[in-house]
Chain A
Amino acid sequence: MDLQSFIQSGLLEAYALGQCTAEERALVERMVAEHAEARAELASIEKSLEGYASANAVPPPAWMKGRILEVIENEANTPAPPPPPAAPGARSGILPLRVFQLLALGFALLALLFFVRENNIVSEKTALENRITGLQQQINDCEQNKRRTDTLRQVVQLLRDRENTRAVALNPATGTGNAVYAYQNANRCQIAIDLATLPASGKGQYYQFWAIEDGKAPVSLGMVREQTASGWQLLPCLDNAITLAISVENNPEGNAQPTEVFRVGNIPAAGG
């Protein structure tokens, strides 16, 4: 832009009024620095505006000047505040130390979080395990009840089949005592023992159940439990057996031959 175009552009007026952008201001200042005519033009504009401002002047209160000078005097006599003291360990060591402290704090918080989380997990796991145990117990109870119910249902069915069922009173083989009652159903080939009639065995003694065919050696039908949930026990039968017996054994798994016959009874003949 040549000088005359610049002067005519209105930028000098805008500059004097404080209306220029940073870019325009830089241009004006460069032109004014380089050209005496532009400098004189700007000075003239500024003087005109200054004159206009002076024509609209309002006198400030008389005390104002003294107050301003007093404020400046006080500020001049106030020593500049010293720079803030450096913290101990400043410069070389402070940054790594702070970083280390922050890291340590971060790890501690993380560890705490993990600890709390782990604790919660352990608590939840324990609670779940307890709940599983409880549920398992309920399942066991249900299964036991089902077995008892099944046993009782079979016992009822066996007893109701009077035509094929024979009650067998197993009396003491020696001495006196109550009979133990068993019911054999030939059709089902099943024997139901009423455990309520069976006396408790001695310590280290176990009951074993036997069927004996005529002229043959006793055949073991299994061990007799003293108690069950249903109070009854079902055992298989021996088709041609004529006698049932309970022996006392010292082996919980039983023996091949009766050690001591405890109770014995003959199976009544059909129709008898």
Chain B
Amino acid sequence: MQDQLINRLKQQDRAAIGELYDAYSGALFGVVLRIVQSRELAEQVLQDTFVKAWRNGASYDATKGRLFTWLLNIARNTAIDATRTAYFQHYRKTDSLDALAHQPGGESVNTDHLGVKEVVGRLDEKYRSLIDLVYFKGYTQEEVAEETGIPLGTVKTRIRYAIGELRKLFGENIAAVVILATAILSAA
């Protein structure tokens, strides 16, 4: 199923972008929002992410990683670039992440009925915070060490451990259900 989607993406099938959007826009938007801290700028970044994916679909190599990882890298890099612009500096002053929680549509996808929050909550905070910095905010491990004051070796060990825990929590079946549920709820 995904192989066909990838082939259509490589051929710049516009409908394929719609399907990618349905599958991944929520997860990507969540990541982008954490980086740029502005809903308006995050919307622009998300749009740019999918346009870039459409333009560069032919360059995706499935042997080097999953499609979502490829899309996430595009989104993360676009978001980080956006934070370096004056545009970002402007919106950061007027639109904070705290405010997002009170805006319509600012809530996370409701996956409570799947027990996802409970699952994620089982991950120790000290691991989750490191994963969040690296995975969601695009920090390098060196930057995490500098930011948190934790030695670089410890950062690497904890991140690896955290991923191991995630693999337990998000066993293949659970991950598939979460992704599917997210896609359905995002498209709704």
Residues of A within 8 A of B (CB): 10, 13-19, 29, 32-33, 39, 42-62, 64-65, 67-69, 71-73, 75-76
- Give Cα A51 to B134, complex, Å: 16
Kindly list chain A residues whose C-beta atoms are within 8 Å of the C-beta of B22: 65
The dominant DSSP class at the B interface is helix
Q: How large is the interface on B (under 10, 10 to 19, 20 to 34, 35 or more residues)?
A: 35 or more
B93 within 8 Å of A (CB atoms): no
The dominant DSSP class at the A interface is helix
Do B29 and A60 have beta carbons less than 8 Å apart?
yes
Kindly list chain B residues whose C-beta atoms are within 8 Å of the C-beta of A18: 73, 76, 138
Kindly list chain B residues whose C-beta atoms are within 8 Å of the C-beta of A33: 63
- Give Cα A39 to B61, complex, Å: 13
Do A45 and B182 have beta carbons less than 8 Å apart?
no
Kindly list chain B residues whose C-beta atoms are within 8 Å of the C-beta of A32: 63-64
Residues of B within 8 A of A (CB): 12, 14, 17-18, 21-22, 25-31, 33-34, 42-43, 46-47, 50-51, 54-55, 63-66, 68-69, 72-73, 76, 105-109, 111, 116-117, 119-120, 131, 134-136, 138, 140-141, 156, 159-160, 163, 166-167, 169-170, 172, 174-176, 178-179, 181-182, 185-186
| Contact A68-B166, Cβ < 8 Å, known A46-B66, A50-B27 | no
- Give Cα A171 to B33, complex, Å: 131
Do A55 and B178 have beta carbons less than 8 Å apart?
yes
Do A64 and B43 have beta carbons less than 8 Å apart?
yes
- Give Cα A51 to B166, complex, Å: 9
Do B29 and A57 have beta carbons less than 8 Å apart?
yes
Do A42 and B65 have beta carbons less than 8 Å apart?
yes
